Homo-oligomer: A and B are copies of this chain.
Amino acid sequence: MTEIESFDIIIVGAGVIGVATAYHLQKNNPDKNILIVDRYAAAGQANTALSAAAVRNMFASSTNQLLTDTTIKYIEHVQEEIGYDLHFEKAGYLWLMSETQFNHPSVKEWMNRMEKSGIHHEVYDKKQLKKMIPSLNVDFIGDEEVDLMNLEEVDYGLFGGDCGFLDPTRLVEYYLEEFKKITHVKPRFGFNVKRLILGAVPPLELPGEPYVWQNKRVIGIETDEAEIHADTIVLATGAWANELLDPIGMNSQTKCKKRQMFVIHAEDKKRLQDVLHSEGFNELDSIPFVILPSAGVYFRPQLQEEGFWIGCGDKFGRAYKYIQTDDVLAPESSYFENGIYPVLSKYFPAFSDVRPVNSWAGGYCYSPDAIPFVYYENGVLVANGASGSGIMKADAMARIANALYQGKGEAELFGGRTISSTALSIKDRDVEVESVVI
Protein backbone atom coordinates (compact mmCIF):
# COMPACT_ATOMS: atom_id res chain seq x y z
CA MET A 1 0.00 0.00 0.00
CA THR A 2 1.34 3.42 -0.96
CA GLU A 3 1.71 6.05 1.71
CA ILE A 4 -0.73 8.92 1.08
CA GLU A 5 0.87 12.35 1.06
CA SER A 6 -0.73 14.85 3.36
CA PHE A 7 -0.65 18.57 4.11
CA ASP A 8 -2.40 20.97 6.42
CA ILE A 9 -3.81 22.96 3.52
CA ILE A 10 -4.04 22.39 -0.22
CA ILE A 11 -4.89 25.42 -2.34
CA VAL A 12 -6.41 24.50 -5.69
CA GLY A 13 -5.88 27.25 -8.27
CA ALA A 14 -2.94 29.63 -8.52
CA GLY A 15 -4.74 32.57 -10.07
CA VAL A 16 -4.57 35.89 -8.25
CA ILE A 17 -7.04 34.78 -5.56
CA GLY A 18 -5.20 31.50 -5.01
CA VAL A 19 -1.73 33.03 -4.62
CA ALA A 20 -3.01 35.88 -2.44
CA THR A 21 -4.72 33.31 -0.19
CA ALA A 22 -1.59 31.14 -0.12
CA TYR A 23 0.48 34.12 1.00
CA HIS A 24 -1.87 35.33 3.73
CA LEU A 25 -2.51 31.82 5.06
CA GLN A 26 1.17 30.98 5.24
CA LYS A 27 2.11 34.33 6.75
CA ASN A 28 -0.48 33.98 9.50
CA ASN A 29 -0.04 30.26 10.04
CA PRO A 30 3.72 29.82 9.71
CA ASP A 31 3.78 26.26 11.02
CA LYS A 32 1.27 24.91 8.52
CA ASN A 33 2.30 22.94 5.46
CA ILE A 34 0.56 24.60 2.54
CA LEU A 35 0.62 23.15 -0.96
CA ILE A 36 -0.63 25.28 -3.85
CA VAL A 37 -1.41 23.54 -7.13
CA ASP A 38 -2.60 24.66 -10.56
CA ARG A 39 -3.72 22.89 -13.71
CA TYR A 40 -1.65 25.23 -15.86
CA ALA A 41 2.13 25.27 -16.25
CA ALA A 42 2.54 28.42 -14.15
CA ALA A 43 0.64 30.69 -11.78
CA GLY A 44 -1.83 33.31 -13.02
CA GLN A 45 -2.02 31.90 -16.54
CA ALA A 46 -5.78 31.36 -16.75
CA ASN A 47 -8.39 34.09 -16.39
CA THR A 48 -6.18 36.32 -14.22
CA ALA A 49 -3.96 36.90 -17.27
CA LEU A 50 -6.88 37.30 -19.67
CA SER A 51 -8.76 40.16 -18.04
CA ALA A 52 -8.64 43.88 -18.75
CA ALA A 53 -6.37 44.15 -15.68
CA ALA A 54 -8.26 47.21 -14.53
CA VAL A 55 -8.87 48.04 -10.88
CA ARG A 56 -11.54 50.32 -9.47
CA ASN A 57 -13.00 51.18 -6.10
CA MET A 58 -16.04 52.81 -7.73
CA PHE A 59 -18.67 50.28 -6.76
CA ALA A 60 -22.20 50.92 -5.52
CA SER A 61 -22.30 48.32 -2.76
CA SER A 62 -20.45 49.11 0.42
CA THR A 63 -19.28 45.49 0.34
CA ASN A 64 -17.47 45.79 -2.98
CA GLN A 65 -16.26 49.27 -2.04
CA LEU A 66 -14.60 47.85 1.06
CA LEU A 67 -13.09 44.86 -0.74
CA THR A 68 -11.67 46.90 -3.61
CA ASP A 69 -10.64 50.01 -1.71
CA THR A 70 -8.54 48.01 0.75
CA THR A 71 -7.13 45.79 -2.00
CA ILE A 72 -6.13 48.81 -4.10
CA LYS A 73 -4.52 50.42 -1.08
CA TYR A 74 -2.54 47.23 -0.55
CA ILE A 75 -1.53 47.27 -4.22
CA GLU A 76 -0.28 50.85 -3.76
CA HIS A 77 1.51 49.80 -0.58
CA VAL A 78 3.32 46.98 -2.41
CA GLN A 79 4.37 49.27 -5.21
CA GLU A 80 5.16 52.46 -3.30
CA GLU A 81 6.35 51.28 0.10
CA ILE A 82 7.65 47.77 -0.52
CA GLY A 83 8.97 48.92 -3.86
CA TYR A 84 7.74 45.97 -5.94
CA ASP A 85 6.66 47.38 -9.29
CA LEU A 86 3.19 46.13 -10.27
CA HIS A 87 2.95 48.61 -13.15
CA PHE A 88 -0.01 50.10 -11.31
CA GLU A 89 -1.00 53.34 -13.01
CA LYS A 90 -3.86 55.57 -11.92
CA ALA A 91 -5.38 56.49 -15.24
CA GLY A 92 -8.87 56.55 -13.74
CA TYR A 93 -12.29 55.27 -14.80
CA LEU A 94 -14.72 57.38 -16.80
CA TRP A 95 -18.38 56.42 -17.16
CA LEU A 96 -20.02 58.34 -19.99
CA MET A 97 -23.76 58.78 -19.46
CA SER A 98 -26.80 60.41 -20.96
CA GLU A 99 -28.88 62.84 -18.92
CA THR A 100 -31.43 60.08 -18.30
CA GLN A 101 -28.81 57.60 -17.16
CA PHE A 102 -27.09 60.16 -14.95
CA ASN A 103 -30.36 60.99 -13.22
CA HIS A 104 -31.37 57.38 -12.67
CA PRO A 105 -31.96 56.64 -8.96
CA SER A 106 -29.40 53.81 -9.05
CA VAL A 107 -26.69 56.23 -10.22
CA LYS A 108 -27.67 58.76 -7.56
CA GLU A 109 -27.48 56.04 -4.93
CA TRP A 110 -24.12 54.90 -6.28
CA MET A 111 -22.73 58.43 -6.04
CA ASN A 112 -24.19 58.92 -2.56
CA ARG A 113 -22.63 55.73 -1.34
CA MET A 114 -19.25 56.68 -2.78
CA GLU A 115 -19.56 60.07 -1.10
CA LYS A 116 -20.24 58.42 2.24
CA SER A 117 -17.34 55.99 1.83
CA GLY A 118 -14.92 58.72 0.84
CA ILE A 119 -14.31 57.28 -2.62
CA HIS A 120 -13.04 60.09 -4.81
CA HIS A 121 -15.09 60.85 -7.88
CA GLU A 122 -15.85 63.81 -10.06
CA VAL A 123 -18.60 64.75 -12.47
CA TYR A 124 -17.78 66.36 -15.82
CA ASP A 125 -20.44 67.91 -18.00
CA LYS A 126 -20.61 67.72 -21.75
CA LYS A 127 -18.62 70.91 -22.24
CA GLN A 128 -15.79 69.82 -19.97
CA LEU A 129 -15.68 66.38 -21.60
CA LYS A 130 -15.53 67.92 -25.04
CA LYS A 131 -12.61 70.06 -23.95
CA MET A 132 -10.68 67.11 -22.51
CA ILE A 133 -11.54 64.70 -25.34
CA PRO A 134 -12.10 66.95 -28.37
CA SER A 135 -12.92 64.08 -30.71
CA LEU A 136 -15.63 62.62 -28.46
CA ASN A 137 -18.98 62.74 -30.26
CA VAL A 138 -21.48 64.29 -27.86
CA ASP A 139 -24.11 65.14 -30.46
CA PHE A 140 -26.10 62.48 -32.27
CA ILE A 141 -28.55 64.93 -33.88
CA GLY A 142 -29.17 64.11 -37.49
CA ASP A 143 -27.87 60.56 -37.20
CA GLU A 144 -30.73 58.15 -37.80
CA GLU A 145 -28.69 55.05 -37.11
CA VAL A 146 -28.21 55.83 -33.42
CA ASP A 147 -31.93 55.41 -32.78
CA LEU A 148 -31.99 52.00 -34.40
CA MET A 149 -28.92 51.15 -32.35
CA ASN A 150 -30.45 52.35 -29.03
CA LEU A 151 -27.47 54.61 -28.40
CA GLU A 152 -27.68 57.15 -25.60
CA GLU A 153 -26.07 60.54 -26.13
CA VAL A 154 -23.18 61.65 -23.90
CA ASP A 155 -24.19 64.33 -21.40
CA TYR A 156 -22.06 63.55 -18.36
CA GLY A 157 -18.91 61.80 -17.33
CA LEU A 158 -18.44 60.23 -13.90
CA PHE A 159 -14.73 59.99 -13.19
CA GLY A 160 -12.78 58.19 -10.46
CA GLY A 161 -9.10 59.06 -10.18
CA ASP A 162 -8.07 56.34 -7.74
CA CYS A 163 -8.80 53.63 -10.28
CA GLY A 164 -6.39 52.36 -12.88
CA PHE A 165 -4.49 49.43 -14.35
CA LEU A 166 -1.79 47.06 -13.30
CA ASP A 167 0.07 44.08 -14.60
CA PRO A 168 -1.75 41.04 -13.17
CA THR A 169 1.25 38.78 -13.82
CA ARG A 170 3.40 41.03 -11.63
CA LEU A 171 0.79 40.91 -8.87
CA VAL A 172 0.63 37.11 -9.05
CA GLU A 173 4.43 36.95 -9.03
CA TYR A 174 4.59 39.20 -6.01
CA TYR A 175 2.30 37.01 -3.94
CA LEU A 176 3.91 33.80 -5.15
CA GLU A 177 7.45 35.01 -4.47
CA GLU A 178 6.49 36.14 -0.98
CA PHE A 179 4.72 32.83 -0.39
CA LYS A 180 7.74 30.86 -1.59
CA LYS A 181 9.97 32.72 0.89
CA ILE A 182 7.96 31.40 3.83
CA THR A 183 6.40 28.13 2.70
CA HIS A 184 7.72 24.66 3.43
CA VAL A 185 6.18 23.11 0.33
CA LYS A 186 7.07 23.62 -3.33
CA PRO A 187 4.08 24.65 -5.46
CA ARG A 188 3.02 22.16 -8.13
CA PHE A 189 2.00 23.17 -11.62
CA GLY A 190 0.52 21.19 -14.49
CA PHE A 191 -1.35 19.49 -11.67
CA ASN A 192 -4.93 18.55 -12.42
CA VAL A 193 -7.35 17.97 -9.54
CA LYS A 194 -10.04 15.55 -10.70
CA ARG A 195 -12.22 15.46 -7.65
CA LEU A 196 -12.52 16.19 -3.96
CA ILE A 197 -12.47 13.19 -1.64
CA LEU A 198 -15.18 12.89 1.00
CA GLY A 199 -14.35 11.12 4.23
CA ALA A 200 -16.41 9.97 7.19
CA VAL A 201 -15.99 11.76 10.54
CA PRO A 202 -15.04 9.72 12.49
CA PRO A 203 -13.87 7.14 9.96
CA LEU A 204 -15.22 3.67 10.72
CA GLU A 205 -13.09 2.08 7.97
CA LEU A 206 -16.19 0.58 6.35
CA PRO A 207 -15.99 -0.16 2.64
CA GLY A 208 -17.86 2.53 0.67
CA GLU A 209 -18.07 5.07 3.49
CA PRO A 210 -19.07 7.80 4.08
CA TYR A 211 -22.66 6.59 4.32
CA VAL A 212 -25.65 8.87 4.52
CA TRP A 213 -25.79 8.53 8.34
CA GLN A 214 -22.16 9.50 8.82
CA ASN A 215 -20.84 13.00 9.36
CA LYS A 216 -18.57 13.83 6.47
CA ARG A 217 -16.08 16.35 5.23
CA VAL A 218 -13.63 16.81 2.42
CA ILE A 219 -10.36 15.12 3.35
CA GLY A 220 -8.31 15.45 0.20
CA ILE A 221 -8.01 15.66 -3.55
CA GLU A 222 -7.64 13.08 -6.26
CA THR A 223 -5.49 13.57 -9.35
CA ASP A 224 -4.86 11.25 -12.27
CA GLU A 225 -1.98 9.67 -10.38
CA ALA A 226 -2.54 10.06 -6.69
CA GLU A 227 -4.66 10.90 -3.68
CA ILE A 228 -3.39 13.70 -1.44
CA HIS A 229 -4.92 14.49 1.93
CA ALA A 230 -5.28 17.78 3.78
CA ASP A 231 -7.25 19.15 6.70
CA THR A 232 -8.42 22.07 4.58
CA ILE A 233 -8.85 22.35 0.83
CA VAL A 234 -8.96 25.92 -0.46
CA LEU A 235 -10.83 26.25 -3.75
CA ALA A 236 -9.69 29.28 -5.72
CA THR A 237 -10.84 27.73 -8.95
CA GLY A 238 -12.93 30.61 -10.31
CA ALA A 239 -14.89 29.57 -13.36
CA TRP A 240 -14.21 25.87 -12.68
CA ALA A 241 -15.63 25.73 -9.13
CA ASN A 242 -18.74 23.73 -10.07
CA GLU A 243 -16.57 20.95 -11.48
CA LEU A 244 -15.30 20.11 -7.97
CA LEU A 245 -18.17 21.30 -5.76
CA ASP A 246 -21.23 19.89 -7.54
CA PRO A 247 -20.13 16.24 -7.22
CA ILE A 248 -19.99 16.54 -3.43
CA GLY A 249 -23.33 18.36 -3.26
CA MET A 250 -22.14 21.91 -2.59
CA ASN A 251 -23.76 24.56 -4.80
CA SER A 252 -21.20 27.26 -5.65
CA GLN A 253 -23.98 29.46 -7.08
CA THR A 254 -21.44 30.77 -9.61
CA LYS A 255 -21.40 30.47 -13.38
CA CYS A 256 -18.93 31.44 -16.07
CA LYS A 257 -19.35 33.98 -18.86
CA LYS A 258 -17.02 34.64 -21.74
CA ARG A 259 -15.41 38.07 -22.10
CA GLN A 260 -13.35 39.16 -25.08
CA MET A 261 -10.63 41.74 -25.50
CA PHE A 262 -9.62 43.33 -28.80
CA VAL A 263 -6.37 45.27 -29.23
CA ILE A 264 -6.18 48.33 -31.46
CA HIS A 265 -2.96 50.19 -32.15
CA ALA A 266 -2.81 53.97 -32.42
CA GLU A 267 0.61 54.10 -34.11
CA ASP A 268 0.52 56.17 -37.27
CA LYS A 269 -3.05 57.15 -36.49
CA LYS A 270 -2.98 60.74 -35.37
CA ARG A 271 -6.65 60.91 -34.37
CA LEU A 272 -6.40 57.80 -32.21
CA GLN A 273 -3.19 59.05 -30.62
CA ASP A 274 -5.01 62.23 -29.68
CA VAL A 275 -7.70 60.17 -27.96
CA LEU A 276 -5.09 58.03 -26.22
CA HIS A 277 -3.19 61.04 -24.89
CA SER A 278 -6.19 63.03 -23.69
CA GLU A 279 -5.08 65.55 -21.11
CA GLY A 280 -6.58 66.62 -17.82
CA PHE A 281 -7.66 63.30 -16.36
CA ASN A 282 -4.45 62.13 -14.75
CA GLU A 283 -0.72 62.66 -14.44
CA LEU A 284 -0.10 60.24 -17.28
CA ASP A 285 -1.92 62.49 -19.73
CA SER A 286 -3.82 59.41 -20.76
CA ILE A 287 -7.44 58.73 -21.53
CA PRO A 288 -8.89 56.79 -18.58
CA PHE A 289 -10.74 53.47 -18.77
CA VAL A 290 -13.89 54.58 -20.63
CA ILE A 291 -17.32 52.98 -20.36
CA LEU A 292 -19.67 54.06 -23.15
CA PRO A 293 -23.30 54.87 -22.35
CA SER A 294 -24.64 52.03 -24.50
CA ALA A 295 -24.35 48.32 -25.23
CA GLY A 296 -21.76 47.73 -22.50
CA VAL A 297 -18.81 48.73 -24.71
CA TYR A 298 -15.66 49.91 -22.91
CA PHE A 299 -12.00 50.49 -23.64
CA ARG A 300 -8.80 51.10 -21.77
CA PRO A 301 -5.58 52.79 -22.84
CA GLN A 302 -2.46 50.69 -23.21
CA LEU A 303 0.32 53.28 -23.19
CA GLN A 304 3.21 50.82 -23.51
CA GLU A 305 1.94 49.55 -26.81
CA GLU A 306 0.46 52.93 -27.84
CA GLY A 307 -2.99 51.47 -28.19
CA PHE A 308 -6.29 50.40 -26.67
CA TRP A 309 -7.87 47.26 -25.34
CA ILE A 310 -11.55 47.16 -26.22
CA GLY A 311 -14.21 44.98 -24.63
CA CYS A 312 -17.92 44.68 -24.03
CA GLY A 313 -19.92 43.68 -20.99
CA ASP A 314 -22.88 42.09 -22.69
CA LYS A 315 -25.38 40.53 -20.32
CA PHE A 316 -28.60 38.95 -21.65
CA GLY A 317 -27.79 37.03 -24.81
CA ARG A 318 -24.27 35.98 -23.79
CA ALA A 319 -24.28 32.36 -22.65
CA TYR A 320 -23.55 31.23 -19.13
CA LYS A 321 -21.31 28.21 -18.84
CA TYR A 322 -21.70 25.76 -15.99
CA ILE A 323 -17.94 25.40 -15.98
CA GLN A 324 -15.51 27.14 -18.28
CA THR A 325 -15.22 25.31 -21.58
CA ASP A 326 -12.52 25.71 -24.22
CA ASP A 327 -14.70 27.81 -26.51
CA VAL A 328 -14.62 30.52 -23.85
CA LEU A 329 -11.01 31.12 -24.89
CA ALA A 330 -11.83 31.85 -28.54
CA PRO A 331 -12.41 35.51 -29.46
CA GLU A 332 -14.93 36.15 -32.25
CA SER A 333 -13.91 38.67 -34.89
CA SER A 334 -17.54 39.17 -35.92
CA TYR A 335 -18.34 40.21 -32.36
CA PHE A 336 -15.98 43.13 -32.74
CA GLU A 337 -17.02 43.99 -36.27
CA ASN A 338 -20.80 43.83 -35.89
CA GLY A 339 -21.22 44.32 -32.17
CA ILE A 340 -18.56 46.55 -30.69
CA TYR A 341 -17.22 48.52 -33.62
CA PRO A 342 -20.49 50.17 -34.74
CA VAL A 343 -21.05 51.45 -31.19
CA LEU A 344 -17.47 52.53 -30.56
CA SER A 345 -17.14 54.46 -33.81
CA LYS A 346 -20.33 56.43 -33.14
CA TYR A 347 -18.94 57.85 -29.90
CA PHE A 348 -15.33 57.95 -31.00
CA PRO A 349 -15.15 58.47 -34.77
CA ALA A 350 -11.36 58.31 -34.44
CA PHE A 351 -11.80 54.51 -34.32
CA SER A 352 -13.41 54.51 -37.78
CA ASP A 353 -11.91 51.98 -40.14
CA VAL A 354 -9.44 50.56 -37.63
CA ARG A 355 -9.21 46.84 -37.01
CA PRO A 356 -7.90 44.82 -34.08
CA VAL A 357 -4.32 43.62 -34.34
CA ASN A 358 -4.84 41.08 -31.60
CA SER A 359 -7.61 39.60 -29.49
CA TRP A 360 -8.19 37.08 -26.74
CA ALA A 361 -10.99 35.81 -24.52
CA GLY A 362 -11.40 34.44 -21.01
CA GLY A 363 -14.01 33.56 -18.44
CA TYR A 364 -15.61 35.63 -15.69
CA CYS A 365 -16.87 33.77 -12.64
CA TYR A 366 -20.17 35.45 -11.72
CA SER A 367 -22.03 35.30 -8.43
CA PRO A 368 -25.75 36.14 -8.53
CA ASP A 369 -25.30 39.42 -6.61
CA ALA A 370 -21.91 40.33 -8.15
CA ILE A 371 -20.29 40.06 -4.71
CA PRO A 372 -17.64 37.38 -4.18
CA PHE A 373 -18.09 34.26 -2.10
CA VAL A 374 -15.73 33.32 0.72
CA TYR A 375 -16.86 30.52 3.05
CA TYR A 376 -15.52 27.56 4.97
CA GLU A 377 -17.75 24.48 5.10
CA ASN A 378 -17.17 20.75 5.29
CA GLY A 379 -13.40 21.17 5.17
CA VAL A 380 -13.53 23.30 2.02
CA LEU A 381 -12.61 26.96 2.03
CA VAL A 382 -14.08 28.48 -1.12
CA ALA A 383 -12.98 31.89 -2.47
CA ASN A 384 -14.54 32.67 -5.82
CA GLY A 385 -17.33 34.49 -7.66
CA ALA A 386 -15.45 37.77 -7.93
CA SER A 387 -17.62 38.52 -10.98
CA GLY A 388 -14.88 39.93 -13.19
CA SER A 389 -13.06 41.85 -10.50
CA GLY A 390 -10.85 39.25 -8.87
CA ILE A 391 -7.66 41.25 -9.23
CA MET A 392 -9.11 44.19 -7.34
CA LYS A 393 -10.66 42.06 -4.59
CA ALA A 394 -8.06 39.32 -4.18
CA ASP A 395 -6.19 40.76 -1.21
CA ALA A 396 -9.36 41.36 0.82
CA MET A 397 -10.78 37.94 -0.09
CA ALA A 398 -7.52 36.27 0.95
CA ARG A 399 -7.55 37.99 4.34
CA ILE A 400 -11.16 36.92 4.89
CA ALA A 401 -10.22 33.37 3.93
CA ASN A 402 -7.45 33.44 6.53
CA ALA A 403 -9.79 34.76 9.22
CA LEU A 404 -12.21 31.91 8.49
CA TYR A 405 -9.37 29.40 8.62
CA GLN A 406 -8.28 30.77 11.99
CA GLY A 407 -11.83 30.74 13.30
CA LYS A 408 -11.94 34.50 13.75
CA GLY A 409 -15.29 36.28 13.60
CA GLU A 410 -13.80 39.32 11.91
CA ALA A 411 -11.23 39.77 9.19
CA GLU A 412 -8.88 42.72 9.30
CA LEU A 413 -8.30 44.06 5.81
CA PHE A 414 -5.31 46.15 4.71
CA GLY A 415 -5.35 49.49 6.48
CA GLY A 416 -7.19 48.13 9.49
CA ARG A 417 -10.83 48.18 8.40
CA THR A 418 -12.72 45.01 9.27
CA ILE A 419 -15.48 42.85 7.87
CA SER A 420 -17.38 39.94 9.39
CA SER A 421 -15.70 36.71 8.29
CA THR A 422 -19.03 35.24 7.27
CA ALA A 423 -20.33 38.29 5.38
CA LEU A 424 -19.37 36.75 2.04
CA SER A 425 -20.59 33.25 2.90
CA ILE A 426 -23.59 31.58 1.33
CA LYS A 427 -25.36 30.63 4.56
CA ASP A 428 -24.92 33.85 6.52
CA ARG A 429 -24.49 36.22 3.61
CA ASP A 430 -24.64 39.86 4.66
CA VAL A 431 -23.86 42.02 1.65
CA GLU A 432 -25.32 44.80 -0.45
CA VAL A 433 -26.19 43.69 -3.98
CA GLU A 434 -23.85 45.31 -6.50
CA SER A 435 -25.48 47.40 -9.23
CA VAL A 436 -22.41 48.76 -11.02
CA VAL A 437 -21.33 45.73 -13.03
CA ILE A 438 -19.48 46.50 -16.23
Chain A residues with a Cβ under 8 A of chain B = 148-151, 198, 204, 206, 208, 210-216, 242, 245-251, 253, 255, 257, 294-297, 312, 314-322, 334-335, 338-340, 342-343, 366, 368, 378, 426
In contact, A208 and B251 (Cβ under 8 angstroms)? no
Copies per assembly: 2
Q: Are B213 and A150 in contact (CB under 8 A)?
A: yes
Report Cα–Cα, A322/B365, bound state, in Å.
Answer: 16
Q: Is the CB of B148 within 8 A of A316?
A: no
- Closest-by-CB residue of B relative to A433 is B427
Asked whether, in the complex, the Cβ of A248 is within 8 Å of the Cβ of B296, the reply is no
Task: Tell me whether A249 and B320 are in contact (CB under 8 A).
Answer: yes
Contact B212 A319 (CB under 8 A): no
What are some 10 contacts across the A-B interface (CB < 8 A)?
A: A150-B214, A151-B213, A208-B334, A211-B338, A216-B316, A246-B255, A247-B319, A248-B316, A250-B316, A251-B366
Residues in chain B near residue A340, CB distance under 8 A: 212
| Known A150-B213, A213-B151, A214-B150: A249·B339 in contact at CB below 8 Å | no
CB distance from A15 to the nearest CB of B (A): 22
**Main DSSP-derived SS at the A contact region:** loop
Q: Which residues of B contact A245 (CB under 8 A)?
A: 320
Select the residue from A212, A247, A319, A342 with max chain B CB neighbours within 10 A. Answer: A212
User: A143 to chain B: closest CB distance in Å?
Assistant: 14
User: Given the complex, which residues of B lie within 8 Å of A257, measured CB to CB?
Assistant: 249
> Among the listed B150, B246, B316, which residue makes an inter-chain contact with A249, where contact means beta carbons less than 8 Å apart?
B316
Q: Are B246 and A339 in contact (CB under 8 A)?
A: no
CA distance A340 to B213 in the complex (A): 8
